[in-house]
Chains A and B, each alone.
Chain A
Amino acid sequence: MTPILEAKNVSKSYGVYQALKNVSLKFFEGETISIVGPNGAGKTTFVNVLTGLLKPTEGDVDFCGKSIAGVGPVKLSQYGMARAFQLVQIFPLMTVQETIISAVISQTGSQYNFWSNAVAQKRLVDKAFEVARIFNLDKKMSWQASYLSQGEKKLLDIASAFALDPTVILLDEPTSGISTADKRGIMDTLMEAAKLSGIKTILLVEHDMELVAEYSTRIVALAEGKLLADLPPKEFFANAELEAQIIGKRVSHA
């Protein structure tokens, strides 16, 4: 089976400090892969390398057979990979509809269409409503993004990434800043949205190990810049020593 995304012997150094040490991984269609590890494990660097934001010092990253090492976010979105951030990233003065339409415009290549009103183009508006409906934002299309609740802002951030119709999406702590009670709701919405949008692979960076256990099909653990484990959740959580290394203590899970 051909991997959709592949890190090949990736190393990344910042001066003398080596943040990633020869990491090789393959990500396949239909997978939800959680990337876990303690602080300073190299997760952020690995994710930034995987999403083309950082060029690896050594090695390469292939996405659908194409090298994406250091291509930057714009090219990455054109290739079919989207990313949502840990800290909410929205356009505060734009409405929900305009935010989602902005993504649809760049995805459809209609940004140089100068003669028509963006919010009057049926094709753009229909697509925006379609995405908003998945995230239960369709009732608030005319709301300015800054007036949404924290949870809705998070959903809008992710919804705009989904509007790019990506093949792979990277969700960086999608439930950070969300109350424990709402975390599961957000994750269920995300998983459902991914299914409906035809997203093939989900990369998840998450600290909440219960969510990791519940929603991942595979867990990749990093420690000190090295690949520590690449296992299905059952095997990962069956290894007490490994789990302790990642989170410092054993947690109970279903």
Chain B
Amino acid sequence: MNARVKLTLLFCLGILCAAPYFLSPYHTTLLLPAIAYGIILLGFNLLFGYTGLLSFGHALFVAVGAYTVAILTSRLGIKNMEIIFLCAIGASIVVAVPVGLICVRYVRIFFGMLTLAFGMLFHSILFKFYDLSGGDSGIQVVRPFLFGQDLSSMDKTSFLIGPFFYYSIIILIILGALMWRIVHSPMGMHFRAIRDNSRKAEYLGIQVHRFRLIAFVISAIYGAIGGALLVIPVGLADPELAYWTHSGNIVFMTILGGFNNFFGPIVGAFAFIGLKDQLVGLTQYWRFALGIVLVMLVLLLPNGIMGLLQAKKRMASQEKAQ
């Protein structure tokens, strides 16, 4: 990471940390799902942008994380958030390994359809197994302890824009740094080699299926951790979290931010949440408007917001050189 990127990153983190001081509580709470999606998309992009596998069922793992926090806090009385994260990681591995073992044997549309099918299967289980999942009503999420601190005496808004906001940022930073390490490690290089040419990768001794499975499981873990953070402000885990439209939103956010750039998906998460909030306020046909944005993106900005910024930077440096 060069000095300029480091400075920009520090500046953005500084702005984010200061957000509760200059934004209204409503707009600050709006940043919480953006942070959670930022984590989910970091994992999703390891699979899509770095390994070349486009999943249409990634919301499955978001739901796994969400239901883990819901079941642990409201049914089992386990409220320690760090223990909840460990359980969410465990649950996502238990689900991702068998699903991944089947899916990673296929690529392109076949992989996409298989992941979509597993996502919808999980949605049906959540919807129909009432005793286990609460059916269409879902399961309530009780406020968890953060770093062992019981914060139940705080009012909800103060909790969300205070301790929980900064807790979410810490998790985003830790998982972001970890993902940066993964994609720049020898393992990350193998992921990219598989994305570019899996046949050549095999002849260079790279175990393609094994590395695809590793990427799938890591992305599932990020999905579950993000999912656990996503439902705390809402206070409810419901089957819609696993529905295919939610998986579609995850793909949308990644394309919006730019999947060719490490920070693209995080930018996409913040842009999507902001855009959706503005459109919902403007028109009841906000989904239609989002659809138009997606079409425009694919046609005009296939590399997303970060792609546009990088192109501008390149042009500026070329002009400077001339």
Name A residues whose Cβ lies closer than 8 Å to a Cβ of B.
Answer: 72-74, 76-78, 82-83, 85, 89-94, 98-99, 101-103, 105-107, 110-119, 121, 124, 157, 160-161, 163-164
With A78-B205, A102-B206 known as contacts, the answer to whether A90 contacts B187 (CB < 8 A) is: no
List the A residue with the shortest CB-CB distance to B208. Answer: A74
B128 at the interface (CB under 8 A from A): no
- Kindly state the separation between the CA atoms of A106 and B194 in the bound complex, as whole angstroms: 13
Closest-CB distance, A154 to chain B (whole angstroms): 13
With A89-B200, A90-B197, A91-B196 known as contacts, the answer to whether A74 contacts B188 (CB < 8 A) is: no
- Kindly state the separation between the CA atoms of A85 and B208 in the bound complex, as whole angstroms: 18
B201 at the interface (CB under 8 A from A): yes
Chain A residue numbers with a CB within 8 Å of B212 are none
Name B residues whose Cβ lies closer than 8 Å to a Cβ of A.
Answer: 181-182, 184-190, 192-193, 195-197, 199-208, 211
Which residue, A74, A115, A163, has most C-beta atoms of chain B within 10 A? A74
10 examples of A-B residue contacts, CB within 8 angstroms: A73-B202, A74-B202, A82-B203, A99-B193, A102-B189, A103-B204, A105-B189, A110-B186, A124-B186, A157-B200
With A73-B203, A74-B207, A111-B206 known as contacts, the answer to whether A91 contacts B193 (CB < 8 A) is: yes
With A118-B184, A118-B185 known as contacts, the answer to whether A105 contacts B197 (CB < 8 A) is: no
Chain A residue numbers with a CB within 8 Å of B202 are 72-74
- Kindly state the separation between the CA atoms of A28 and B5 in the bound complex, as whole angstroms: 54
Chain B residue numbers with a CB within 8 Å of A90 are 196-197, 200
Contacting pair A92 B196 (CB below 8 A): yes
With A89-B199, A117-B185, A118-B184 known as contacts, the answer to whether A111 contacts B190 (CB < 8 A) is: yes
With A94-B192, A94-B196 known as contacts, the answer to whether A102 contacts B185 (CB < 8 A) is: no
List the A residue with the shortest CB-CB distance to B199. Answer: A89
- Kindly state the separation between the CA atoms of A112 and B195 in the bound complex, as whole angstroms: 18
Chain A residue numbers with a CB within 8 Å of B204 are 77, 102-103, 106, 160-161, 163-164
Contacting pair B184 A117 (CB below 8 A): yes
Chain B residue numbers with a CB within 8 Å of A161 are 203-204
Chain A residue numbers with a CB within 8 Å of B184 are 117-119
Chain B residue numbers with a CB within 8 Å of A82 are 203
List the A residue with the shortest CB-CB distance to B195. Answer: A93
Closest-CB distance, B43 to chain A (whole angstroms): 16
- Kindly state the separation between the CA atoms of A77 and B181 in the bound complex, as whole angstroms: 27
Contacting pair A77 B182 (CB below 8 A): no
Closest-CB distance, B272 to chain A (whole angstroms): 25
Chain A residue numbers with a CB within 8 Å of B192 are 91, 93-94, 98
Closest-CB distance, A78 to chain B (whole angstroms): 6
- Kindly state the separation between the CA atoms of A115 and B180 in the bound complex, as whole angstroms: 10
Chain B residue numbers with a CB within 8 Å of A98 are 189, 192
Contacting pair B205 A77 (CB below 8 A): yes
Closest-CB distance, B144 to chain A (whole angstroms): 29
List the B residue with the shortest CB-CB distance to A78. Answer: B205
- Kindly state the separation between the CA atoms of A192 and B211 in the bound complex, as whole angstroms: 34
Chain A residue numbers with a CB within 8 Å of B205 are 73-74, 77-78, 103, 106-107, 164
Closest-CB distance, A179 to chain B (whole angstroms): 24
Besides A83-B203, A101-B186, 11 more A-B contacts (Cβ < 8 Å) are A76-B203, A82-B203, A89-B197, A98-B189, A102-B201, A106-B204, A106-B205, A114-B182, A117-B184, A118-B185, A124-B186
Contacting pair B190 A106 (CB below 8 A): yes
List the A residue with the shortest CB-CB distance to B196. Answer: A91
Chain A residue numbers with a CB within 8 Å of B200 are 89-91, 157, 160
Closest-CB distance, B309 to chain A (whole angstroms): 19
Closest-CB distance, B181 to chain A (whole angstroms): 7
Q: What 10 pairs between A and B have smallest CB-CB spacing?
A: A106-B205, A77-B205, A91-B196, A89-B200, A73-B202, A105-B186, A103-B204, A118-B186, A73-B203, A118-B189
Chain B residue numbers with a CB within 8 Å of A83 are 203
Chain B residue numbers with a CB within 8 Å of A105 are 186, 189-190
Which residue, A72, A106, A117, has most C-beta atoms of chain B within 10 A? A106
- Kindly state the separation between the CA atoms of A103 and B202 in the bound complex, as whole angstroms: 10
List the B residue with the shortest CB-CB distance to A106. Answer: B205
Closest-CB distance, B210 to chain A (whole angstroms): 9
List the B residue with the shortest CB-CB distance to A157. Answer: B200
- Kindly state the separation between the CA atoms of A160 and B197 in the bound complex, as whole angstroms: 13
With A89-B200, A94-B192 known as contacts, the answer to whether A112 contacts B206 (CB < 8 A) is: no
With A115-B185, A117-B184 known as contacts, the answer to whether A106 contacts B206 (CB < 8 A) is: yes
List the B residue with the shortest CB-CB distance to A110. Answer: B186
